[in-house]
Structure 1
Amino acid sequence: MKRLVIKVGTAVLTQDGQLALERMDNLVSLIAKLKNEKNLEVILVSSGAVGAGYTSLKLDKKIVANKQALAAIGQPLLLKNYKKRFKEHNITCAQMLFIADDFDSRKRTKNAQNVMEILLENKILPIINENDVIATDELVFGDNDQLAAHVAYYFNADMLVILSDIDGYYNKNPREFSDAVLQKNVLEISDDELEMKHSANSEFATGGIVTKLKAADFLMKRDIPMYLSSGFDLTNAYDFLVDGNHKSGTIFQAKK
């Protein structure tokens, strides 16, 4: 494995109306280890701009213009915190913002691919988010799980890693059923699973398990595996990504 896309969700990066800086520190340390010790190319897809903006200005994010304003405030705040932490590991960051339309244009996609290759060749860490400030309903991915899946595909990643508020994919909702069993390996996803009721647990999150399944399904059809694990406790992510031991978390990989 050479190139990895890591996506981290809003629920991981924010807590109680503030940036969850300890969890951000842990994420940065993991990425630094992958880049500096495992010599991997890493692309980070980071949610949290709207949540970060809300730490400075308490606006009702149900109003679209307010949400876009919060993203405008929060995006540089989020990047400032990332840059400070990655600098401690001698890693330089770059920012790339996309809307869904960018991947529907061959010219824009090719331009983005050219820039990405230059950044990765020079060991720069690209940090990607959806451009919520200008995005409209017709142009958005809608959630960063779909964005991350497209990033993994169009930028030729070997795997997408989603670090979330859930530690894997269970056969039933573990928050409701104590006998829910984690599925470590998923080889196919049914239409029924992809059409389950959309859910999100954070006030500022737009995702849920269904968006992750859709991201996995998109990649499985293109022979790219996806790993889903906890972003709150990175023990399982370290075991898998650093040590190569799949102790927990879910790998989605289509049957050969």
Structure 2
Amino acid sequence: MYFVSYSEIESEERLFGDNDMLSAVVAVLCQASKLIILSDIDGLYNKDPRLFPDAKLISTIDCIDEKLYESAGGSGSSHGRGGMITKLQATTLAVNQGIDTIITNGKHPEKIYDILEGKKVGTKFIGNKNNF
């Protein structure tokens, strides 16, 4: 089972904060094997690609720590609310439940087929299977 986060969830209570966290909660509840989070950039970079042309895409991450959060910076585009930080928070929830999570560009939804075929697309966070 796979889930794709693709639009902001609006509510008066804002129980989930944003669509990224909502998708992670749903993935955990459904015991999904993968979570795909779509963004306005290709994945997580070693530095902000909008500011640094030499930024490099990180293809695989097996440990989410404070250093990674710090490197993710602040808000992203004007379309989203939290940029990469909220994606990392949602990813942390999913990964801690053993769910592989991929962050990739939503402008290329056809890449979802590549992800399902096991090809490297965006940034893949390896689910922590040791929690089970």
The two structures have a TM-score, normalised by structure 2, of: 0.84
Q: Secondary structure at the match of 1:227?
A: strand
C-alpha distance 222-174 of structure 1, shift in aligned 2 (>3 A): same
Identity across the alignment (%)? 38
Aligned-pair distance for 1:197? 4.3
Q: Which residues of 2 match residues 122-201 of structure 1 at below 5 A?
A: 129-130=9-10, 132=11, 134-135=12-13, 140-194=15-69, 197-201=73-77
CA distance in 1: counterparts of 2:81 and 2:16, whole angstroms: 10
Q: Is the 8 A contact 1:145 1:215 kept in 2?
A: yes
CA distance in 2: counterparts of 1:237 and 1:178, whole angstroms: 26
Aligned-pair distance for 1:143? 1.3
Q: 2:101 — aligned with what?
A: 226
Query: 2:75 aligned with 1:202, yes or no?
Result: no
Aligned-pair distance for 1:238? 2.6
Q: Is the 8 A contact 1:159 1:226 kept in 2?
A: yes
Aligned-pair distance for 1:255? 5.6
Residue deviations 1:115-153, cap 9 Å, x none?
A: xxxxxxxxxxxxxx45x1x31xxx532211111111110
Aligned-pair distance for 1:157? 1.3
Correspondence for 2:90 among 215, 218, 225: 215
Larger Rg: 1
Q: Is the 8 A contact 2:37 2:104 kept in 1?
A: yes
Correspondence for 2:115 among 210, 230, 240: 240
Residue deviations 1:180-203, cap 9 Å, x none?
A: 111111001111333554303124
Q: Is the 8 A contact 1:193 1:210 kept in 2?
A: no
The two structures have a TM-score, normalised by structure 1, of: 0.46
Q: Secondary structure at the match of 1:170?
A: coil
* Aligned pairs, number: 128
The residue type equivalent to 2:4 in the other structure is: I
CA distance in 1: counterparts of 2:76 and 2:18, whole angstroms: 11
Q: 2:3 — aligned with what?
A: 5
Q: Select the structure that is richer in helix.
A: 1
Aligned-pair distance for 1:239? 1.8
Q: Which residues of 2 match residues 1-40 of structure 1 at below 5 A?
A: 3-8=1-6
CA distance in 2: counterparts of 1:178 and 1:200, whole angstroms: 16
RMSD across aligned positions (CA): 2.0
Residue deviations 1:209-238, cap 9 Å, x none?
A: 011111111111111110111111234333
CA distance in 1: counterparts of 2:128 and 2:42, whole angstroms: 23
Q: Is the 8 A contact 1:188 1:254 kept in 2?
A: no
Unaligned runs of 5+ in 1: 9-45, 48-128
Q: Is the 8 A contact 1:169 1:183 kept in 2?
A: yes
The residue type equivalent to 1:7 in the other structure is: S
CA distance in 1: counterparts of 2:125 and 2:97, whole angstroms: 12
